[in-house]
Amino acid sequence: MMYPEYRPRRLRRTESLRALIRETTLSPKYLIYPLFVVHGKGIKQPIEAMPGCYQFSVDAVVKEAKEVFDLGINAVLLFGLPEKKDPRGSHAWIKSGVVQNAVSAIKKSVPDLLVVTDVCLCEYTSHGHCGVLSNGRIDNDATLELLTKVALSHAGAGADIVAPSDMMDGRVGVIREALDEQSFDQVPIMSYAVKYASSFYGPFREAAECVPKSGDRRSYQMDPANAREAMREAMLDLEEGADILMVKPAMPYLDIIHLLRQEFSLPIAAYQVSGEYSMIKAASAKGWLDEAGIVEESLLSIRRAGADVIITYFAKDVAGNL
């Protein structure tokens, strides 16, 4: 079929026609809003590099969670900034930790809001790495034991989903086994299956105060040059019992989201990370970009690539318009 018999513009003539044949849609139901929790009371501290995002104390995060839920958003993802850091990150799994307290407080006052927890050590270790540091190296197997404690403590506090983001080998399997043993067999694992060593995490490290004191994360997070390796990482996590596979960051890795979508039937999540957020916020603040338009287009691109779930700091901004 060719012009002039076929005229693609016929179906673009009005908004009703365009809506009729729209292939990709957005809804707040599959957005996850990240939240940073700190010790203290009555705290809502702006994060400079992420305008519109804050560090909240537990009482304040409950208020925020209510607001998020009322906007139609289904889920939040919690990160904790502990009172004290040590080499092993022990405050990541203590019963009265910030995340543990936030989970139970949110579940108590907004029970239908899904609470997902980031399972990692970097915010809790004094050296800022995601695992146990020994002789300048990250000890994979020693870290697994600690991650298991973190995941169990989150599940114990009432987390609906745990999300390991450390990129240690074998962590999904040991966490699944530990959860099952402690009768948390109904708690799903959303694994950061394909997490790149990305410069787009810059603003987050300010927000979560987890810049590594020495070196970088390239011995555990993936090389941005690799796509085939992403398939291996995703396959391992699937075999170890992951329920949702995540790709992170999102927009610079749409090809990876698409690859996973074609290869796996598990739900796929994509994390539109802090740097993606801050770029758009900064350019919009300067009047160089139309923020609402860019945000919608960026989320559509992530969905079109194949993501079911999107973790985004824009969730609150867009929920009202969807």
- CB of residue 110 to ligand PBG, shortest distance in Å: 23
- 125 touches ligand PBG by CB under 6 A: no
Check: CB of residue 257 under 8 Å from CB of residue 250: yes
The count of chain residues that interact with ligand PBG, using the rule CB under 6 A, is: 11
- Write the single-letter amino acid at 48: E
- Cβ-proximal residues to 139 (8 Å cutoff; 6+ apart), any chain: 131, 132, 133
Q: Which one of the listed residues 85, 107, 248, 316 is annotated catalytic?
A: 248
Whether residue 248 lies in the annotated active site: yes
- 280 touches ligand PBG by CB under 6 A: no
- 314 touches ligand PBG by CB under 6 A: no
- Contact letters for ligand PBG, residues 172-201 (x by CB under 6 A): -----------------------------x
Nearer to ligand PBG, 182 or 252 (CB): 252
- CB of residue 216 to ligand PBG, shortest distance in Å: 9
- 165 touches ligand PBG by CB under 6 A: yes
The residue to which tokens 């519109």 are assigned? 52
Burial class of residue 37, CB neighbours in 10 A (0-12, 13-18, 19+): buried
Cα 37 from Cα 53, distance rounded (Å):
11
Eight-class DSSP state of 135 = T
* DSSP per-residue letters across 170-200: THHHHHHHHHHHTT-TT--BEEEEEEB--GG
Whether residue 195 lies in the annotated active site: yes
- 122 touches ligand PBG by CB under 6 A: yes
- 118 touches ligand PBG by CB under 6 A: yes
Check: CB of residue 276 under 8 Å from CB of residue 298: yes
Q: How far is CA 140 from the centre of its chain?
A: 22
State the catalytic residues: 195, 248
- Report the interface residues with ligand PBG, using CB under 6 A: 118, 120, 122, 130, 165, 201, 204-205, 217, 273-274
